[in-house]
Amino acid sequence: MTIHRRDFVRLAAAATVLPRLRPAAAFLGRAGARRDTYDVAVIGAGVFGAWTGWELQRAGKRVVLLDAYGPANARASSGGESRVIRLGYGKDEIYTRMALHSLDRWQELSDRAELPILYRVGTLFLVGSDEKYGRESLETVRRVGGRIEELSRAELAVRYPQIALNGITRGQLEPESGALMARRGVLTLVREFVRAGGSYVDEAVAPPSGSGRLAEVTTRNGDRVRADTFVFACGPWLPRVFPALLRGRIHSTRQEVFFFGPAPGDRRFAPPLLPVWLDVSRTSAIMYGMPDLESRGFKIAADAHGPPMDPDTAERRVSAAGLSAARAYLVKRFPALARAPLVESRVCQYENTSNGDFLIDRHPDIENVWLVGGGSGHGFKHGPAVGDYVARAVAGELTAAEPRFSLATKLVQQHRAVF
Ligand SMILES: Cc1cc2nc3c(=O)[nH]c(=O)nc-3n(C[C@H](O)[C@H](O)[C@H](O)COP(=O)(O)OP(=O)(O)OC[C@H]3O[C@@H](n4cnc5c(N)ncnc54)[C@H](O)[C@@H]3O)c2cc1C
């Protein structure tokens, strides 16, 4: 397993640096000169919008980035503490390739940042008797040149004695994958964007109307922003901005995340002794989690769609049922944590397309508007690849548009196919 020790060293030195990460509006709001007209306006500073803005600016465009609540805000899907980055996607080579591309870009961003954004602590798949997904992931990752190792059940037992292996037949470890510090990553990126001359504005954009070409958008405060091209990367809000087009094609589901506190001095649930893990044994819903990163607790969540959720108004308090299910899973898979206290919890929303494929396409009626979203619970890691794709699409440099990202493939009927 590759552990980048410099990350831990930098982290140890971070205590004195942390206060420099001031709240978004204060440290970004005034920066970046306002212009009369921009090449591109990107609406939404989540992971997709932030990488898109950053890539466009790097390509020499004059870009303004706007967000209703602030980059990686508490309501945004990108606003969580951490996100898994993995290469394995079954036989879905497109996402394996995108993740591999993104891994390098995240590493570069992490290297430039004050605090680590990527922790390459490894990502471990726990595979059960239904081998299909694991086997296909293994083959695809190897085919595209990613690193992945197979571990027998006996090897798993020796390497990870803190994991109970009932129902697990073997493991596969991606030693160079791991965890992304989500909110920090987006803030760092937007700050780089602003420092390099991009404009960031804390404003909600009113839904555009009409057809043909869009000349400007209006903010809720009445300001007008003119641009040649508009990219709407509004995550779970996309159906609010384009109700006639997207209602029912992107649906938000409530997802609960739990952080449990290991006993003092117990390092078995922190890197390097535990990597990021995904339980794909199908003995329950797919469960996944993080080792204790930066002393925020051992994270655990179910990758099963929850009930519908309103991203603006939802109260973000976890349910008693969700907490008991997480504890029941701990008893089964991480028994030494069965009595560990809940130290933090979060409620967030997935913004799902019908099958889990992203939406990156031109608006069918407004030629200079792009729709970017549908991260569907797995989008964060792909931020760099999505930003690169959208920047090339906007510049007219895409040799071939990816059919799986098209609006035409986004149905109202749900049938999840990407895991
Ligand atoms: C609990 C949970 C766990 C996840 N785990 C993983 C994981 O382990 N790995 C992974 O790769 N992915 C994961 N994901 C998925 C990933 O986080 C999302 O797919 C991704 O963050 C979506 O980013 P986005 O930029 O599309 O949307 P968002 O982050 O929601 O950003 C959209 C932005 O648009 C802004 N906005 C909306 N409307 C307007 C408007 N009218 N005007 C101006 N601004 C507006 C919002 O304020 C918001 O900031 C997870 C998601 C959740 C909820």
Secondary structure letter of residue 249 according to DSSP: T
Q: Ligand 1 centroid vs 128 CA: distance in angstroms?
A: 31
| Residue whose CA lies nearest to ligand 1 atom number 14 | 377
Give 19-84 as a DSSP string: GG---HHHHHTT-S---SEEEEEEE--SHHHHHHHHHHHHTT--EEEE-SS-TT-TTSGGGSSEEE
pLDDT digit string (tens) for 203-235? 999 999 999 999 999 998 889 999 999 999 999
Q: Report the percent of the chain where pLDDT is more than 90.
A: 87
Q: Quick one: pLDDT band at residue 107, thresholds 50, 70, 90? A: very high
Whether the bond into 272 is cis, omega within 30 of 0: yes
Separation of alpha carbons 241 and 247, rounded Å: 10
How close is the Cα of 268 to the center of ligand 1, in Å? Answer: 31
pLDDT at 33: 53
Check if the beta carbon of residue 174 is closer than 8 Å to that of residue 123: yes
Distance between Cα 309 and ligand 1 center (Å): 14
Q: Looking at ligand 1, which atom is closest to the CA of residue 203?
A: 43
Give the Cα separation of 331 and 408 in Å (integer): 44
Which pair of tokens denotes residue 80?
A: 């969580």
Residue nearest to atom 51 of ligand 1 (CA): 377
Cα(48)–Cα(288) distance, integer angstroms = 23
CA of 181 to the centre of ligand 1 (A): 14
- pLDDT score recorded for residue 36: 80
Residue 159 CB-density burial (10 A; 0-12 exposed, 13-18 middle, 19+ buried)? middle
> CA torsion angle for 65, 67, 72, 77 (degrees, to 10)?
-110
357 neighbors 376 (Cβ within 8 angstroms): yes
Q: What is the pLDDT of residues 284-331, one digit of tens each?
A: 789 999 999 999 999 999 999 999 999 999 999 999 999 999 999 999
pTM: 0.93
User: Residue whose CA is closest, atom 4 of ligand 1?
Assistant: 377
What is the DSSP secondary-structure string of 257-290?
EEEE-PPTT-GGGSTTTS-EEEE-SSSSS-EEEE
Distance CA 391, CA 388 (A): 5
Indicate the residue type of 106: W
User: What 3-state class would DSSP assign to 108?
Assistant: helix
Residues near ligand 1 (Cβ within 6 A): 43-49, 66-69, 73, 76-78, 80, 83-84, 204-205, 233-237, 241, 255, 257, 301, 348-350, 373, 375, 377-381
Q: Closest ligand 1 atom, CA of 374?
A: 26
Q: What would the pLDDT profile of 240-281 be if each residue is shown by its tens digit?
A: 999 999 999 999 999 999 999 999 999 999 999 999 999 999
What average pLDDT does the chain have? 92
The residue ranges of DSSP E strands in 47-177, in sequence order, are: 63-66, 82-85, 118-119, 123-127, 149-152, 170-174
